[in-house]
Structure formats: structure tokens, C-alpha cells
Amino acid sequence: MLFRLIHLPYRKTTSLWLLLGLMSSSLVSQQPQAPSPNDVAMHRFVDDLLRKMTLDEKIGQMSQVAYQEPHTVSHEERIRKEQAGSFLFVTDPAEINRLQHIAVDETRLHIPLLFGFDVVHGFRTIYPVPLAMASSWDPALVEHAQYMAAREASSVGVRWAFAPMVDIARDARWGRIMEGSGEDPFLGSRMAEAQVRGFQGTIGAPDRILACVKHFAGYGAAAGGRDYDQSDISDEQLWNVYFPPFHAAEAAGAATFMAAYMDLNGVPASGNRYLLRDVLRTDWGFQGFVVSDWETVSNLVTHGFASTPADAASRAANAGVDMEMTSSLYRDFLATDVKSGSVPQQTINDAVRSILEAKYKLGLFTNPYATPGLAAKELVSADQRHAARVAAQRSAVLLRNESNILPIKKSMHTLAVIGPLADSKPDTMGSWSLAGKYDDTITVLNGIRAKVGSAVEVRYAKGVEIQRGNASIFDPQFASPPPTLVTADQREKAFKDAIDLVKSSDLTVLVLGELQSMSGERASRATLDLPGEQEKLLEAAEATGKPIVLVLINGRPLDITWASQHIPGILEAWYPGTEGGNAIADLLFGDAVPGGKLPVSWPRSAGQEPLYYAHTLSQIPADRDAMYWDESSAPLYPFGYGLSYASISIRDLKLSSIKLPPAGVIEATVNLHNTSNVDGDQTVELYTHQRAGSASRPVRELKGFERVHVKAGEQRSVTITLHADDLKFWSPATRQTELDPGTFDLWVGDSSAATEHATFTVSP
Ligand code: BGC
């Protein structure tokens, strides 16, 4: 893709990561396990193939070609010469099969290609973005959505998703916060493993695809929230915050990992042997293969790390990058590196073995082709639309509902739907929707019109337009609509028309937020304001005195502090995907009840970032919310927060025991009571705090949760199991994983501000 040719110049100093690695974690080696009969057959098959392969053919398997990038050698020739093991960005099943036939029929060893794509939140049917999916606090839903995405992708022959993105992100300025599950390692781990299960199921089933866990590791800690900027992360934070979702994904059987772009503590992730070998393979026992990120092998030179392209190829391969994405340094230099001895032959064999094994497990050696006709049945099928609609319903978060302004009564006569995102298809889909189609997408305006039919007069006005101001890397493939309000007069008139509609309507739904290109890769921001004139529009609408509901479509928490005091109804819909407009209409009119909870602490302004609830106590804990003299340091909405149309209390916390032995469990039981006349969901969240130990531990940490449905008037008990293992942490004092004995606080409630409290002790 042309946009990929744009580079930012990097100059970084290097440091000896390895030394740090040696000082850090205890590397627990995995117990060898007896191979299953299938593994035995696979090893025999792959060993046999490896014996027949030349060095160049092996390096071909380690090379991935980006389909639409400019190329001097045709793809057909590359495949015939066995110089490509994988392609990315081919989505047409006929073209996939054509290329696959060349690989299988016209090469010496008949090794099939592996086709990969960014199936991040759907393939053709676009699901809510991952930050939204995490807001569902519903791992089963997340698993199902990725299974549905796998069905669509596999129907065209794409058998490898560059997802899940499991980077913890604690700074909303970072555009890629929308691609992950937010700030918390426990929630992030549950979402990571659910996604791996959803994509892969049992690897080899024809409707499943390989997961690629990315970006290993620490990408979310980009300095200042600036995408691609360096991450400087202490060992304590790496092991306790940034690694856990990766480890959970690995433990769930993820077949592949992707190395990150940035320097981690001074060493680029794609040349980082400590990450890719010591942690991933030695410590965690990962058996799959690692792909670089886009050109990150050649970027080892750009980073000021490798001296030459040949050095970059050698450092990446030795560090543990098994396949190179897009750049061609492996193809161009790896053979020379092997001959010169800078890369051991064994390193090549190990890399190729893991790639061939992945292809074998997928079943590509027996059935390499997309099934003709399957895509037509699967893509945007009724089942897909249904799943996407439910996902969007369950991932929206109700932030405010004063005087029960929501749900909207269907008995009204006139409804204004206003805002730059109210009727924008690409912006409803969100980033990583490259195989999605605008025409499939239901905007909020479409959804509301379909919901109310002719019973309510629905009037639409854009009010204002918003623009990013500079190009997005996705513009060439996937642009938001260009502005149509060109002159100042046009803009003034559009603004006035919108406010006139507010004045003459019974109620207004304002749909504000960010264009799809304003969150995502290379979409960092210095402020969290509503872009453009949206705040002005919102305040003018409120000044009419008419009832206003704000729907947010965006990929990160925004500064809505004024709205949180003046706008009675606020629904965070994130980028909700293909069925977003229908789902939002369901929620606005009460045909679905909001139950999502924030997977991030919601700041008042960008100046509070990075902001997260699991901070340590400090010496004046009572001052926690007053750490700035010019603004509160408390979040606007805490992590785990979200309202419902139902009122479901959580009370009467009881523990099964007040002593927790190592490897034991405690059951925490609470009573839920739905005191309203609306059926709804409540998420029961369990937090702990270690009072003293070998290190200071966060004031609260999520250690369990469950989203449950409670009928109107119903009372029911819910039990969350706390595992002693989940209290273990990597102690910076002892530099190993510890379960410190002593007293712990435990809270259960409906957010990280939970008040039901108990204590227990961990004792050997
Ligand atoms: C992104 C990855 C993505 C890859 C292929 C990179 O720029 O960082 O997340 O998988 O491109 O599209």
C-alpha cells in the first residue's frame, strides 16, 4: 500500500537490553511434554520437507509480501521462485486461489502460501472496535465476534488475522488505544485469550484462522502517547502490567506473535532477543512463529540500531523474528548472513520449522484453497449482522442518564438527529475496516429512521464538519467523506440550521466524536477535545433549553467534562461497526439496555494522562484527587463505570473464608437486586489490594468479574472466585514472581470505586 511508504525518521541510542534481561525475571523452563500422534506426523512431515529445502527456499518461507506495494518482480515470479511464504492484504478469493495454485502446482516443493490480513474488528462485517468490545466485559461475546470474523475471513481464503492487539494502553492520547482492551492487565488478559479462542478454535477447522498477538511488547506505553515513540517501561510494569495479556494469549494457544515497532527500553522490539527468545520462547514456552511488524526489520537501521541492512536481517533473525513483513532484507541478505556465520543455520531451520508447522496445523497442505462460493454466503450474512448488532449493543457504555432522559419515548412527534457523525458510514465503522463496505453500514440516522418508521418525524442536520487537518495513513484506502461546507457562509448556515432543528424538535440526538482516522495507527492527539466546532454545537444546542442526548462515536475517552455537567443523556458507542446505527437506535429507544463498563479511566482533560486506577498509594493517599492545583486529578468516570436503565444494587458481600492458602481460592458472594422495572445487566467487579509486602502494590487491582442479567424485581446472588494465583506479582525487590503473605483488602461492586469491603489473609 502506498501509504506504507511514508516513514518517520528515527534516531535512537541503543542500550544493552540483554544485560537487563539477565538481571530480570527468573526464567522458568517448560516441562517437556510427550508429543501427540498428530504432532509426530507433523514433525515427520516438516522434517522431511526441511531436508529437501535449499537455503533460499527456506528464506522464502520467512518472507511475507505486501500485495499492493510497488514491486519490481511480479508476484507470480516471486511465488514460482519460492521467495514468498506469505502474502498480506489479498482479500479476493479468486485471486487468493490463483496465487495459491501457482505456489502449490508450479513450485518444486508445493508449499502453500499463508494469506494474512488485519482482521481486527471484523473482516467484511465490521464489529465494534476492540476498546468497545472490552467495554462489554463479556469474554464469551468477544470470542464469538472473533469466531464470526474468522468465518468471513476464511471464506475468502484469509487464514491469518493480525490480531488480537493486546497492548495495555493508559494514555488516551495514543491513537491505538482503540485497538486494544484498555488499561487493565486482568481485563486485557481475559479479552486476549477470548479473542485467541475465537479466531483459532481448534486450529485446522476450515472456518478458523490463526491469531497473531501483537505488538510484542510495550507499544502502548509510547512516550507522550505519540505513536511509534519509544517505550521506557520498568521491569515491574512490564511483568505486572504489559506482559500479562500477551502471556494469557500465549497460554490460550496463540499460533503467532508480532514484534512491535518501537524501542523498548532502548532496544527496538524487532531486534530484541530478550523479548522474543528469553521471555516468549524460554520463559513462556511459545512454539509458534513471530512475524515482524511492517518493515520493522529494515527499521532496525532507521532506529540507529543495526549498521547495515545485512546487519538488520541478521539481528532480527537472531533475536527471533521468524518472518519479515513487507521489507525484503531476509530475501536480500539472510543467505549471505548464514554463509558469513552471523546467523546460524539452526536459527533458519527453527524459524522455517515453526512457519511450516503453522501451515500444517491450519490444514493448508491438504486444503490450501478458498471454497468457491462460500464467501457469497458468509460475507455480511444475516447471522453476521445479528452478531455485530448484539456486539454493538453490549459494548456501548451509558455515562449519564439524568432524570431518565433515556430511553427515548417512542411517543414523541419530532426528533432531531444532528452532528458530523450522525450519518457517516466510514466513521461508524472505525479504523481497521479495510475489507468493510460503506454500503453495508447502518449509521445512527439510518438506525433511528428504521426504528421509528413514520410514527416520528426524524430531521437530520450535520451542523458542523470535522477534519483531521493532516493526512491519515488510511486515507488512500479508506477515507472519511470530504468536507462539503467550504465557505464560512456555508458553515454558518449549517450551524444555524442545526440549532433551528433543535429548537423545533421534541428531542435532539447529537452524534459527535471523532472521524475514523482520528483514532488508530498514527492518530495520536495532544488534546482530547471534541474536534472542530463540535463543543460549540453541543453548547449551543443545550442553550436552547430543549432535551439533548449525546451519542459519542470515537476511539478514545474525550474531554466531555462540560457535557457531563450539562447534557442529561450521554451514551458512549465507540466506533460501533456495520450494525452500529441499528444497535444505537435499539439502545436509545430501550429495545436494548446499556450494560457496558469503561475499560479505561475517563480523564477530564489530556493533562491528566497517563491516567489509571491501579496506581500505588503514595504518601498522601487522601490527596489523590487533588494532586494538581489547577484541576482535579480524579477521573471524570472511573475504570469499570457504566450505567443501565435498570437499577441493580450489589450488597451483602460474604467471603467463603478469610484465609487464602497458596494455590487456594476464596469465593466472594454478593446479592444483586434489580429494584427497577427494567430487565438489565450488571457487571460484578472484584478488586483487591495487598496492604504490605515485598513491594508496594496498587491501591486496587481487578481480579475477577462477571456480567450477569437480572430481571426487573429479581434478586440473585453472584459468586466470583478469587484465585491465589491471581495475587501473584513480579516483585521488583526479589526480581521474581511472589505471593506475598499478609492482609489483603477486597472490594466488590459495579466499578473500580466499589464499596462492599472485606479483608482476608494470605498465609502459607
Ligand atoms: C501495524 C500492524 C498491522 C500491520 C499490517 C502495521 O503498521 O502496526 O498492527 O498488523 O501494519 O497491516
Q: Exposed e or buried b for every residue in 407-435, given b needs 16+ CB within 10 A?
A: bbeeeeeebbbbbbbbbbbbbbbbbbbbb
Model confidence band, residue 410 (pLDDT cutoffs 50, 70, 90)? confident
Catalytic residue of the set 171, 263, 293, 423: 293
Model confidence band, residue 25 (pLDDT cutoffs 50, 70, 90)? very low
> 227 CB less than 6 Å from ligand 1?
no
> 451 CB less than 6 Å from ligand 1?
no
Nearest to 582 by CA among 396, 329, 339, 378: 396
> Does 9 have pLDDT greater than 50?
no
Per-residue pLDDT reduced to its tens digit, 131-179: 999 999 999 999 999 999 999 999 999 999 999 999 999 999 999 999 9
d(CA 577, CA 433): 9
Proportion of the chain above pLDDT 90, given as a percent: 92
Query: 3-state secondary structure string, 115-179?
Result: EEECCCCECCCECCCHHHHHHCCCHHHHHHHHHHHHHHHHHHCCCEECCCECCCCCCCCCHHHHH
Helix (H) or strand (E) holding 759: strand 756-762
> What is the value of pTM for the model shown?
0.95
Helix (H) or strand (E) holding 200: helix 185-200
> 521 CB less than 6 Å from ligand 1?
yes
Q: Which residues, in sequence order, are CB contacts of 730 under 8 Å at separation 6+?
A: 25, 235, 236, 239, 240, 736, 737, 738
Cα 621 from chain centre: 32
Nearest to 558 by CA among 548, 543, 573: 573
- Nearest residue by C-alpha to atom 2 in ligand 1: 293
Span from the CA of 299 to the centroid of ligand 1 (angstroms): 14
Span from the CA of 6 to the centroid of ligand 1 (angstroms): 14
- Count CB-CB contacts under 10 A for residue 566: 15
> Does 13 have pLDDT greater than 80?
no
Instruction: Please identify, by atom number, the ligand 1 atom nearest to the C-alpha of residue 4.
Output: 7
Dihedral of the CA atoms 553, 556, 558, 564 (nearest 10)? 70
Q: Exposed e or buried b for every residue in 101-119, given b needs 16+ CB within 10 A?
A: ebbbeebeeebbbbbbbbb
- Nearest residue by C-alpha to atom 12 in ligand 1: 118
User: Residues 468-493: what's their mean pLDDT?
Assistant: 91
Span from the CA of 104 to the centroid of ligand 1 (angstroms): 27
Q: What beta strand segments (E) does 473-613 contain?
A: 507-513, 548-553, 569-572
Look at residue 16 in the predicted model and tell me its pLDDT: 30
If you count them, how many residues does the chain have?
764
* DSSP assignments along 732-754, one per residue: TTTTEEE---EEEEEEEESSTT-
* DSSP assignments along 420-459, one per residue: TTTT-HHHHH-SS-TT--GGGPPPHHHHHHHHHGGGSEEE
Span from the CA of 520 to the centroid of ligand 1 (angstroms): 11
Look at residue 480 in the predicted model and tell me its pLDDT: 85
- Nearest residue by C-alpha to atom 11 in ligand 1: 294
Cis peptide before 610 (omega within 30 of 0): yes
Per-residue pLDDT reduced to its tens digit, 199-227: 999 999 999 999 999 999 999 999 999 99
> 294 CB less than 6 Å from ligand 1?
yes
Span from the CA of 294 to the centroid of ligand 1 (angstroms): 6
Span from the CA of 213 to the centroid of ligand 1 (angstroms): 12
> 474 CB less than 6 Å from ligand 1?
no
Q: What beta strand segments (E) does 245-385 contain?
A: 256-259, 263-264, 267-268, 289-291, 324-325
> 681 CB less than 6 Å from ligand 1?
no
Grid-cell match 500422534, residue found? 37
Q: Which residues, in sequence order, are CB contacts of 677 under 8 Å at separation 6+?
A: 712, 713
Grid-cell match 442529561, residue found? 568
Q: How many helices (H) and strands (E) does the chain have?
A: 24, 26
- The angle at the Cα of 631, spanning 626 to 635, to the nearest 5 degrees, equals 75
> 118 CB less than 6 Å from ligand 1?
yes
d(CA 131, CA 120): 11
Strand 324-325 with 507-513, pairing: unpaired
> 162 CB less than 6 Å from ligand 1?
yes
Q: Which residues, in sequence order, are CB contacts of 604 under 8 Å at separation 6+?
A: 559, 561, 631, 632, 634, 635, 636
Instruction: Please identify, by atom number, the ligand 1 atom nearest to the C-alpha of residue 212.
Output: 10
> 609 CB less than 6 Å from ligand 1?
no
> 214 CB less than 6 Å from ligand 1?
yes
Nearest to 509 by CA among 445, 456, 464, 450: 445
Q: Which residue of 176, 291, 293, 478 sits with most ligand 1 atoms within 8 Å of its CB, as the best mutation to test the pocket?
A: 293
> Does 610 have pLDDT greater than 90?
yes
293 is catalytic: yes
- Nearest residue by C-alpha to atom 8 in ligand 1: 293
Q: Which residue of 118, 166, 227, 295 sits with most ligand 1 atoms within 8 Å of its CB, as the best mutation to test the pocket?
A: 118
Q: Are 294 and 326 in contact (CB under 8 A)?
A: yes
Question: What average pLDDT is seen over the chain?
Answer: 94
Span from the CA of 320 to the centroid of ligand 1 (angstroms): 18
Per-residue pLDDT reduced to its tens digit, 83-139: 999 999 999 999 999 999 999 999 999 999 999 999 999 999 999 999 999 999 999
Q: Which one-letter DSSP state was computed for residue 671?
A: E
Span from the CA of 67 to the centroid of ligand 1 (angstroms): 14
Q: Which residue of 86, 294, 432, 474 sits with most ligand 1 atoms within 8 Å of its CB, as the best mutation to test the pocket?
A: 294
